[in-house]
Structure 1
C-alpha cells in the first residue's frame, strides 16, 4: 500500500524548505505569494488530505479599478467584486475598489503605480492608453497579476482578458439593427463612449462590418463619442435627430441609455427609431419594457466577476485551475425576455 504524502514531499515538489511548507500548511503566514502558490499547488497535486480545504493565511489583495457607480455597468461590476470576498471566503482574497476617471489616463497610470506596492494584482476596466499600458507593464514586471475586464488593454507583459468578444458583440448589434430596420434601410447613429477603449472600438468595427456585408441599405451616418458621459450622450442624440431627420436607428455602445431615451422622446421619435445598446442593467430593463430600447446585448457582469475571481485564485494557487474560457457569451435581450 503506497504511503501518504507528507510535508517533505510537498517541499521537494514545490522546491522550497520544509519550514516554508509548515508555515503554509499551518496558516502561520509570512510566506511570499509566489512560494505559497507553489506549496498549495504541490499539496493539491500530491493530494495531501489536509490541504484540500485549507484556507491560506496570507490575504491576497487585488486592486479593482473601475469607473464610479454612476455608470450602471461599472456599478454592477463593483457590486460583484464587493460580494466576491464573502462568497469566496475560503480563498482569502480581498478585492479593493478604486474609482478612476476614464478620460484622464495619466491619473489612472499614477493610481496603478501608487497601488502596486500594497497589492498583489490588478483588475482594470479602462481605455487603452500608452501610459496605462506602461504602468501595468511595470506591475507585471514586479510579479503582479494583471487582468483586464470588459475591455482589453494591450500590454507587453502577460495579462488575462475577461469579457465578451466585442467584435462579435458589435456584429450581433449590426445584424439586429439591419433586420429590425428592414429592407428599406436607412441611416444609423453610432455612439461610442471612447474609441480609445478597445471594446468600444471593436464594437463599432463589428457593427459597421456586418452592415456592409448583410444590410447594405443601412449606413452609418456618424460615429460620435460620449466620453462616458451620460448627459453628453443625450445631447449628441438630440442634436443628431434635429440635424438628421432621416435617422432610422441608434446604436449606443456605451452609457447614457436613459438620457438617450429622453432625447428621443423630446424629439418625438419614440416610435420610429430602432435603438440597440449593451448591458442589461435595471434601467435598461425598464426602457425595454417602455419600448424605448429594442434590444440589449449583455455581457453578464456577474459572470465576468466570477471568471475573474477564478482566474486570479488559480494564479495564486488558491484553486487548482481557472475557468475553461475567459470569454463571456453574447446574450440578446428584448422586451419579452426582460
Structure 2
C-alpha cells in the first residue's frame, strides 16, 4: 500500500517530527510539505538533521493528489485553512491543533453542503471509530498523558476528585521563542503555569465522561514548565479503596491490546519514553491514596507519533507501522 501525504505547516516541531517518521514509514509517500515562510527551501534547510534523508522542497502550492492531509498549524488556523482550501472528498484529514477536539467544535461546514465530522484521535479510547473516520482531531500532549493514566479508572466508574501535576519540556511551547522558552530562562529553572485553567482540561473531561457520563469528576491540574527539551511526566492523586493488585489487573486488562501503553511496577522516568511513541504508567498505593504516574514524549505519543498511529488505523495498517522507535536512553 502507498499512502500519498500532504503536510500543512511542516517547519515547526510537530511538522519536523512528522517528517522524520514519514520519511522512514514503509507505506508513506510525501507529496508536498506546505510552508509559506520556507517555500522553495529544502526540508533540511529548516530541519538540519534531514540532510541526506530527503531532497523534498517546501512549497506554497497545494495538491489534491493525496490520500491524507496532516495539519500542523497553530491553534485556530486549521479551521481557517480548510474553509479557505476545501479538501477533496477522498482526502482524509488529521489535525494536530486543538481546533476540532471538543465535541461542540468537531464539525466543519464547507461550501457546497460538505460537512466533515472530526473524531477524537486517542486510539486507546476511540480506536474503532478512528478506523472508519474521514477526519481526526489529534489529542493534546498533556491530555494524552493524563487520560492514559485515568481511563481504566473511568471505565470502572471510580473517578471522583483528582489532583494532577505534570511537567513538560520546552518543545511543548512550540518553536517560536518566548521569554519562558529561551535556554537562559529554562536552564536550572521550573515554573507552574496556567494553574487549574490549562486548555487541555476540556478534552480530558470529555474523554473521562465517555466512560462516566453521569459522574461529577473534579480534576484539578497544575502544569509545570521543566528545564529539559522533551517529555511529559504526570502524577494524578486520588482516594481509592481498591487494593494494588486489583488496580494493576484493571490497567493491564484495559491496555492488553494497545501496542504502545505499558504498565510498570518499577518507578518510571522520562528517558524510557523520549524519542518513542510509548506511554508508560506506574501505580503507587499508599493507604487509601492512589497515585498514577504516566510518561510520554510530548512530540511523539503527544503529537506526531500519535498522528501517524491514527493514519495507520485509518488506512487499515498495523497500528505500530513505522513507529517502533528507539528511546534516547543515554
TM bucket (normalised to shorter chain) is 0.3 to 0.5
Taking structure 2 as the reference length, what is the TM-score of the superposition?
0.36
Say which one has the larger Rg. Answer: 1
The structure carrying a bigger strand percent of its residues is 2
Q: Larger RCO: Structure 1 or Structure 2 (Cα < 8 Å, ≥ 6 residues apart)?
A: 2
The structure carrying a bigger helix percent of its residues is 1
Taking structure 1 as the reference length, what is the TM-score of the superposition?
0.35
